[in-house]
Each structure stands twice: as C-alpha cells, then as structure tokens.
C-alpha cells in the first residue's frame, strides 16, 4: 500500500457517495404537480372603496373578478372593458376556469344600473349566483 491509499481510508469502497437523482426526480414531479394544479386569480386592477355589509356569505369558487368603479367603468385583469365586450371576456375566463364563479367588486359610488347590466349580460354563463364583494361592517 502506498502513502496515498493510507491517507484516504475507504478509498477502495466505490459506493460511498449518495445518489441524489431519485430525490431530484421527486422534487421536479412535485413542482410540476403544484404548477399544474394551482389557480391564479386575476385582479381587476382598480382601487375601490367597497360598501359595508351587515350580513355576508362566502363566495364558492369565485375567481372571475369584475370591478366597477365609481364612474361606472368595468375592469377585468387590470384592463378597462366596455360593456359590449363583457360577455366575450367572461366566456374566455370561464373556459380557463370552468368551475369558477363570477365576483363583482363595486365602489361605494358605483351606479347600480351598471352592476345590473353587467350581471344581466353574464347571466347565460353563470353556474351559480354571482357574488358581490363587500367589506365587513366594523
């Protein structure tokens, strides 16, 4: 035995390293699973002062969010949407997330007729009643 072999005990043993390949495979499979199963909420992109409500119920699967500001302008995904394009926008969002419900965020100064028109337009694709987003009463 030479000096080199004495300095490294166990140098003759070939299996002293840990193989990390199976662990990396599992990590990548988990990463792909979480990416595929996650759902992303598109924010309407406008600041609103929501009205307060004394009674509230949670909205089931509400991820298609339209916002109506105090001027009556409708927003979806940080873009202003004209009333005549709301149905196409809602249909495209429903194709991305078929189980999603529609949520309407309103400002305290929002004209009621705009919200009514918005709900009337999207009514044919609704699978559940639309939700109106409010703040809790303090």
Kindly report the CATH number assigned to the domain that includes residue 125.
3.30.420.270
138, pLDDT greater than 70: no
- Domain coverage including residue 108: 52-136
- Specify if 83 maps to a domain: yes
Per the CB < 8 A criterion, the answer to whether 103 and 129 are in contact is no
What is the signed CA dihedral for 84, 85, 88, 93, rounded to 10 degrees? Answer: -130
* The pLDDT of residue 28: 94
Average pLDDT, the chain: 80
Please choose, from the candidates 52, 84, 80, 85, the residue with its C-alpha nearest in 3D space to the C-alpha of residue 68. Answer: 80
- Specify if 28 maps to a domain: no
Q: Which two tokens stand for residue 75?
A: 């927003």
- Specify if 12 maps to a domain: no
Single pTM value for the model:
0.61
16, pLDDT greater than 60: yes
Total structural domains within the chain: 1
In angstroms, the CA 33 to CA 40 distance is 15
pLDDT, tens digit (0-9, with 9 covering 90-100), for 88-131? 999 998 888 888 888 888 888 888 899 899 999 999 988 888 88
Identify the band that residue 62 occupies on the pLDDT scale cut at 50, 70 and 90.
low
* The pLDDT of residue 117: 92
In angstroms, the CA 87 to CA 93 distance is 10
- Specify if 47 maps to a domain: no
Q: Which residues contact 20 (CB under 8 A, 6 or more apart)?
A: none
In angstroms, the CA 49 to CA 105 distance is 9
13, pLDDT greater than 70: no
């Amino acid at each position: 035995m030479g000096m080199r072999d004495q300095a490294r005990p166990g140098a003759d043993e070939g299996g002293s390293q840990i193989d990390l390949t199976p662990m990396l495979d599992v990590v990548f499979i988990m990463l792909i699973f979480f990416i595929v199963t996650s759902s992303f909420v598109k924010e309407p992109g406008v600041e609103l002062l929501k009205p307060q409500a004394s009674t509230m119920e949670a909205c089931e699967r509400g991820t298609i969010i339209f916002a109506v500001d105090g001027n009556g302008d409708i927003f979806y995904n940080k873009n202003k949407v004209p009333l005549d394009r709301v149905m196409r926008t809602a249909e495209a969002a429903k194709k991305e997330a078929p189980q999603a419900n529609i949520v309407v965020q309103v400002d305290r100064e929002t004209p009621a007729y705009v919200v009514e028109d918005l709900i009337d337009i999207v009514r044919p694709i609704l699978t559940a009643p639309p939700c109106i987003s409010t703040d809790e009463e303090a």
